[in-house]
Chain A
């Protein structure tokens, strides 16, 4: 018992010591320099701009993360070959694997945030939502690699492409106009039971109100379900003539396989992430060829008539010859392009600090993607106007990516009137 006061004193002494040494592990921004010559700051040493990539490079979603990151890389390789941002600052990517898990994403974000000017890719809706509070607190700009409508009104995010809602509205417009459907047809949906599936469903519900049809049956499923016979049976039982599908490739393949076995043959419209090139080489390809329409953006791989595609394919040949045709690749390529526009703006203002980059993203006007996706009008988050264009594809195994353009780059009236609101996230 004698030693108790001594122990207490020791603990107190340690506590005082702890407060005396060491402050916050915060990285200070050194603010703006003179116009034209940005001062060095976190992630910028005066000659090289470092950008973060938070992407699933392993695990089941790596089939999306790897080509997307490769897309980022090819654009920046091309840019660096031209001299870099504003002709003089090379760009370097800092890649970290998130495994598509929110908590790992937060860890990896913390790992590299002091070392990058901005994040040019954060893949996945849930991972993006997980780092969003930190992006706001650290005043960093991040580019989400998903077409979620939640991103449009967020100051700290730099989205590209037409959100999923727009894709599904345009798909309905096509079905009712040229696809042989009418508001009286039995229209159904099959959606993944998560935030991505909900985005597609939201678009369909909006279209239902606009065009005056009702959704006869909605089937929800969990990612990696083994057996889809129940859902397919329910859709067939409801007599669906058209089914709108939101899924990821592995599930979509199983779903169409089950439908083919059950001889269930509605008109399928599927959101872009449902498709991957390998499906066109799989046994389910004949079924897809006959009944499936893919709702996406841009044009088919290798289409020389679209200038953006022509340039992209030649750059792939130069910087990543082993890259297979892939739509996620194009997404990553477009993302890198939008980030480059922001960086150019920031360099022009002479400020590559975090606040400088955010300010540059607010001052950005319309960025053109030369037909690879619709042009995006940036600016302050509350005034942004995302593209409303969609391209429909038929499955054709003879094409490089297995997709042939059915209807290129169109916008429906309903999609034009869809309003994006700031979500409470």
Chain B
């Protein structure tokens, strides 16, 4: 008997497999290869630091996508939770000198607790109303960060001296088999390793019962309630989870940058995260990562190669009619418009269509 086609699904369990098909398994292997080898090939501190920031953003975006993309709760308060995570790290990892697993989990716990406090509001509000309420969080947060000087250092900001060591492995000064690696190389592995772990956890969550419940609530919350989904519990839960992940992103941000100030956790940051999940693709974990790469790396790319673009002014008193920053803003804005108009599913949607094309190949329908 001929072997069944690779796309044939013969059971529920098979449909739920994470890496079921040979191409997917190959993709996984390729990703692991890139993850392990990239920092040894790209030793440039600039590109590594761009990629580290992108990885940190990807963690935060996965959190927001769980809340907005899967559960349908729009939140403008993401920056608040990211800030909270950074300050927890400064105190737990820096002042108390506790190791990485402790400060990372402490940040997540505080994030979850704060999310749990905000969560009940989501029961009564949805859509734009919820967005406005979470907008309030940003301003309350800003006031707190500026005035709780003992915790946050106030306006002067605070240094974050949290170490990045798990047991004997110190990502800040990695040394494997006699070969030593720079801080940027170590942080690349740490951050992207965590992106992998969190993406996997999130993926597992959304393909199982709670994940389906979240999507039911997103699509029609009253109907979901009728069929037995306890919408209230899931909404609060989604908020707590999303905030916990956001706080972890903040923790990584703080420990990498080693300094944070209240000027960073503003509305713009929240909006940037919303742009990331929209450009990446709402309701896809992979999309959050793609969006973070796109939004994080594009400005760096333009900046790096601005010398080669005609008409761009790169220095004071230099030639050109548009600055790198203005060009960046313009391209970024244009791409958001184009994505919303032409590809509402985001980058992940493009990826999905490419995948489906090859799945059905040689048939185009």
Contact = CB atoms under 8 A, between A and B. Distances in A.
A102 B260 CA distance: 8
A22 B50 contact: no
A14 B46 contact: no
Contacts, number: 142
Nearest to A320: B317
B184 A25 contact: yes
Q: Size range of the interface on B?
A: 35 or more
Contacts of A95: 314-316
A107 B32 contact: no
A73 B316 CA distance: 9
Task: Say whether chain A's binding surface is mostly helix, strand, loop, or mixed.
Answer: helix
A424 to B, nearest CB: 8
Nearest to B22: A3
A195 B262 CA distance: 10
Contacts of B117: none
Q: Size range of the interface on A?
A: 35 or more
A22 B182 contact: no
B45 interface: yes
Contacts of B159: 129, 132-133, 425
B364 interface: no
A306 interface: no
A229 B129 CA distance: 29
Interface stretch (A109-117, A166-174, A268-276, A351-359): A109-117
Interface string A1-45: 000000100110011011111111110000000000000000000
A129 B325 contact: no
A57 interface: yes
B261 interface: yes
A58 interface: yes
A198 B53 contact: no
A392 B258 CA distance: 38
A102 B259 contact: yes
Contact of A198 (B40, B155, B182, B183): B155
A83 interface: no
Contacts of A113: 45
Interface string A53-94: 000011100100110011001000000000000000000010
Nearest to A68: B316
A110 B52 CA distance: 12
B49 interface: yes
Interface in A253-288: none
A21 B40 contact: yes
Contact of A107 (B46, B258, B326): B46
B49 A22 contact: no
Nearest to B186: A24
B231 interface: no
Contacts of B180: 23-24
A106 interface: yes
Given A11-B32, A134-B258, A195-B156, A107 B181 contact: no
18 contacts: A14-B37, A18-B36, A22-B40, A24-B180, A25-B44, A25-B45, A69-B316, A97-B323, A97-B324, A103-B253, A113-B45, A125-B156, A126-B263, A129-B157, A150-B156, A194-B263, A195-B155, A198-B155
